[in-house]
Structures are given as structure tokens and as C-alpha cells.
């Protein structure tokens, strides 16, 4: 019998269909061919966070009821998966389940499969959003909270009556923006929402590719807060993250506005850019302005952490590394020097 050395091969051998989603940053699909190249060492993991790959594997048979694994693997210094770790996880799975992967497990087998060093539990918000996304992709029914959320965001319940709205209902709507007028309802509701449901919607939208009009409304809302004279930094940071899936210009416009002013370049805003909207930093000049504002926070540990995290992203690596050998400003040069000293310590 052929030895199974990759997750892709194991899934293909099982006879099930499957899909891979990054969970470390935004919830976003990694197509199966790309994942095979990642597993073979042909390319680095595209969305590392804290030098790890955090992703979900959903697989299903003809019933379309998915089984899901949440996996976390440490990456090497090149951003590649470490094959011995993957092999060890495969051994756990085959021992517990066999090659079919859809066998019913005993409690002992389930415990053995769950208690291994490569599975993890996403936070509740991300878990809710992921379940909404995969159920939308497989055309499965929404949660019991969906219709009530639709009713609330249409304005029919009164904006102050948000307490009975379930998070899963919100994520179901966001995962189905192009269905049943959901995107229009959310766009029109944004300026009316109290803080709690607004933050819940923005948190869910972080993981969604946004329609143009919804992205424009989020940008308008951010600009209004900036122009108010007393901008809510935490709300602006949430809007930055929510625009991660916007057509590029909205995010570029907001990022450039924020980085142009010291008082708006709060560390919460910079963390939001680095964590969810990092792709806007692929422009060298913008990346340099971002790092300068990060240096100006005076928080050297945060500077070190975010730089180390961002430089592991394949799309940013060759944008950021040259900055280690230039002196664009005294403040940034000093922060980069401290970074290199800390790395050598």
C-alpha cells in the first residue's frame, strides 16, 4: 500500500471532496492545487501568522454535511510547512479513522484524534464566521438566528432592540451578501447601528470580499469619524479591518489618510492593518510610512512583533527586507536597529 505523506493525498484517497481555508488572518480559501504545492515545499504558506500556518480543512461526501479539522503547524524560517509534523498528524488520523475518513469514531478514538499538538480551536467569532462561510459554499441551511438577524438589519425591530440578535445570524448574513438583499440591508443599517451590533458586523465583514457600494459606505463612515475632530480610534481600527476584502482603492484611500496623520496612526489601527489588511503594504512607500508610524508609537516590542510577522508573508518579504539596510528616517532607523539587536540577543 502506498504511504500517504500529504494531507491532500489523504483527502483524495478518502473519496471525499474537500476545501482548505486559512484561519490565521482572514478566513480565505486556499485552492487545492496551491495547497498541494505548499505541502510539497514548492511554495511558502501564503498567510502565516506568528510563524505558523493556521487553517481549516472541510471535507464532505454526497450528503454535503462537512467534517472539519482546525490545524496549526509551525513553519520554518523560509515559511515552509515542516513535513515531519504533517506526517505525524496524518499518522494520528489514519490510526483513529482509517483511510475513508468518514467512519464513526468511538469516544476513545475521538479523544486520541483531538488531543494532538496540531489541532486548535479558533475563537468564537472566527468559528461562527467560518461555519457560515462553509455552509453558504455548500448551499446548506442557515442557522436558526438568520431570519431574526435579517429582520433586525432591515430596521423593522428598532435599532435599539439588538440584544436578541445572535452572532451566527450576523455571520450568516455576511456570508450571503449577494442573497436576499443582505448586502443592501447591512449597508443601509450601518449608520443606524448601536455600538455592539456595529462591531459584530464589522468583525464578520473582515473575512468577506465586499461589494463596491458596501465598501464605499464603510469608507464614508471612517471618513466621517476622522473629520469629526474626535475620531473613535477603536472604531476606525475596526473599519480598517472590515475593509480588508474591499476593492483595493477604498482600503488604499483610508490607509493613506490614516498614515498621513500621527494622531490617527494609533497602534490599534496599525495592528488592524498588519493583521487583516496587510496586502495594502505591498507598496514600498506605504510600507515605509507604516513602519515609521509604528516606530513613532514608541512601542519597540510591538514594532519587533509586527515586523517579524509581516516579513514572513511571501507578498511582503521583499518589500520589507530592503528597509533593514536603508535609513529612510532617524526614528525608523533606530527602531530597525533595535529590532536587529533583539534578533541577535
CA–CA dist 169, 36 (Å, integer): 34
pLDDT at 106: 64
pLDDT at 1: 44
pLDDT in tens, 59-98: 998 888 888 999 999 999 999 999 999 999 998 888 777 6
pTM of structure: 0.93
Listed by start position, the domains of the chain span 7-114, 125-208, 223-345
Burial status of residue 279 (CB atoms within 10 A of its CB: 0-12, 13-18, 19 or more)? middle
pLDDT in tens, 256-307: 999 999 999 999 999 999 999 999 999 999 999 999 999 999 999 999 999 9
pLDDT at 128: 96
User: Nearest-CA neighbor of 340 among 307, 316, 302?
Assistant: 307
Q: Confirm if 150 and 182 have CB atoms less than 8 A apart.
A: yes
**220 φψ region: left (φ > 0), alpha (ψ -120 to 50), beta (else):** alpha
Instruction: Report in angstroms the alpha-carbon separations of 154 from 77, 159, 182, 272.
Output: 49, 9, 9, 29
pLDDT at 105: 60
CA–CA dist 147, 165 (Å, integer): 10
User: Nearest-CA neighbor of 74 among 24, 149, 126?
Assistant: 24
Confidence of residue 344 (pLDDT cuts 50, 70, 90): confident
User: Nearest-CA neighbor of 283 among 243, 246, 244, 256?
Assistant: 256
pLDDT at 103: 60
pLDDT exceeds 70 at position 327? no
Contact residues for 142 (Cβ-Cβ < 8 A; gap 6+): 132, 135, 169, 172, 176
User: Nearest-CA neighbor of 214 among 224, 205, 223?
Assistant: 205
Confidence of residue 324 (pLDDT cuts 50, 70, 90): confident
The larger pLDDT score, comparing residue 9 to residue 325, is at: 9
CA–CA dist 60, 17 (Å, integer): 5
pLDDT at 109: 65
pLDDT at 107: 66
Instruction: Report in angstroms the alpha-carbon separations of 207 from 49, 96, 156.
Output: 16, 33, 27
Mean pLDDT within 144-173: 97
Quickly list DSSP for 270-325.
HHHHHHT-GGGGGSHHHHHHHHHHHHHTT-HHHHHHHHHHHHTSHHHHHHHGGGGG
pLDDT in tens, 23-52: 999 999 999 999 999 999 999 999 999 999
Mean pLDDT within 225-250: 92
pLDDT in tens, 98-150: 656 766 666 666 676 777 889 999 999 999 999 999 999 999 999 999 999 99
Residue linked to cell 488572518: 25
Strand order in the sheet with 17-22: 28-30, 17-22, 52-60, 67-74
Amino acid at each position: 500500500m502506498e504511504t500517504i505523506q500529504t494531507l491532500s493525498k489523504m483527502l483524495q484517497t478518502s473519496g471525499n471532496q474537500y476545501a482548505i481555508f486559512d484561519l490565521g488572518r482572514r478566513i480565505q480559501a486556499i485552492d487545492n492545487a496551491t495547497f498541494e504545492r505548499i505541502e510539497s515545499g514548492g511554495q511558502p504558506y501564503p498567510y502565516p501568522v506568528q510563524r505558523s500556518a493556521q487553517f481549516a480543512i472541510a471535507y464532505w461526501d454526497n450528503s454535503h454535511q462537512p467534517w472539519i479539522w482546525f490545524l496549526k503547524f509551525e513553519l520554518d524560517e523560509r515559511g515552509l510547512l515542516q513535513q515531519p509534523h504533517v506526517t505525524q498528524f496524518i499518522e494520528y488520523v489514519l490510526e483513529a479513522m482509517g483511510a475513508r475518513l468518514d467512519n464513526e469514531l468511538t469516544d476513545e478514538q475521538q479523544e486520541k484524534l483531538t488531543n494532538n499538538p496540531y489541532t486548535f480551536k479558533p475563537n468564537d467569532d472566527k468559528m461562527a464566521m467560518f461555519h457560515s462561510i462553509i455552509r453558504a459554499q455548500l448551499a446548506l441551511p442557515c442557522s436558526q438566528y438568520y431570519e431574526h438577524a435579517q429582520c433586525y438589519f432591515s430596521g423593522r425591530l428598532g435599532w435599539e432592540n439588538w440584544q436578541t440578535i445572535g452572532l451566527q445570524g450576523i455571520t450568516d448574513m455576511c456570508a450571503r451578501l449577494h442573497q436576499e438583499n443582505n448586502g443592501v440591508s447591512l449597508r443601509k443599517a450601518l449608520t443606524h447601528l448601536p455600538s455592539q451590533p456595529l462591531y459584530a458586523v464589522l468583525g464578520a465583514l473582515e473575512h468577506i470580499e465586499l461589494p463596491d457600494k458596501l465598501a464605499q459606505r464603510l469608507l464614508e463612515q471612517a471618513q466621517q469619524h476622522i473629520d469629526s475632530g474626535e475620531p473613535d480610534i477603536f472604531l476606525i481600527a475596526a473599519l480598517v479591518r472590515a475593509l480588508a476584502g474591499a476593492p483595493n482603492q477604498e482600503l488604499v484611500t483610508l490607509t493613506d489618510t490614516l498614515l498621513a496623520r500621527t494622531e490617527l496612526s494609533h497602534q490599534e489601527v496599525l495592528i488592524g492593518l498588519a493583521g487583516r489588511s496587510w496586502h495594502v503594504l505591498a507598496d514600498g512607500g506605504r510600507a515605509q510610512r507604516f513602519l515609521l508610524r509604528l516606530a513613532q508609537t514608541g512601542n519597540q516590542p510591538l514594532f519587533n512583533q509586527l515586523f517579524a510577522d509581516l516579513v514572513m508573508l511571501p507578498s511582503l518579504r521583499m518589500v520589507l527586507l530592503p528597509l533593514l539596510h536603508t535609513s529612510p528616517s532617524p526614528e525608523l532607523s533606530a527602531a530597525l536597529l533595535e529590532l536587529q539587536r533583539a534578533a541577535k540577543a
